[in-house]
Amino acid sequence: VLGGHQDSINGYMGGSSARAPGSDDNASGIATITEVVRALVDNSFQPQKTLKFMAYAAEEVGLLGSKEIAKDFKKKAVNVIGVMQLDMTNFKGSNEFDIVLMTDYTNDEQNKFVGAIIDHYVPGIKWGFDQCGYGCSDHASWHTQGYPASMPFEATMDTMNHKIHTANDTLAMSNNNASHAIKFAKMALAYIIELDR
Query: From the candidates 25, 35, 98, 138, which is the catalytic residue?
Result: 25
DSSP-H helix ranges across the chain: 29-42, 64-75, 108-121, 139-144, 179-195
- Give the CA count within 13 Å in the CB-facing half-sphere of 81: 11
| Known catalytic residue at 139 | no
d(CA 152, CA 115): 10
Task: Give yes or no: 60 in active site.
Answer: yes
* Bond preceding residue 26 cis, omega within 30 of 0: yes
169 is catalytic: no
User: Does residue 108 have an active-site annotation?
Assistant: no
Active-site residue 68, yes or no?
no
Catalytic residue among 7, 59, 98, 154: 59
Catalytic residue among 7, 35, 60, 169: 60
In the three-class reduction of DSSP (H, G, I as helix; E, B as strand; rest coil), residue 127 is classed as strand
Catalytic residue among 7, 24, 35, 87: 87
Task: State whether residue 74 is helix, strand or coil.
Answer: helix
Indicate which residue of 138, 165, 169, 180 is catalytic. 165
Among 5, 139, 143, 180, which one carries the catalytic annotation?
A: 5
Q: Is 25 an annotated catalytic residue?
A: yes
Active site residues per annotation:
5, 25, 59-60, 87, 165
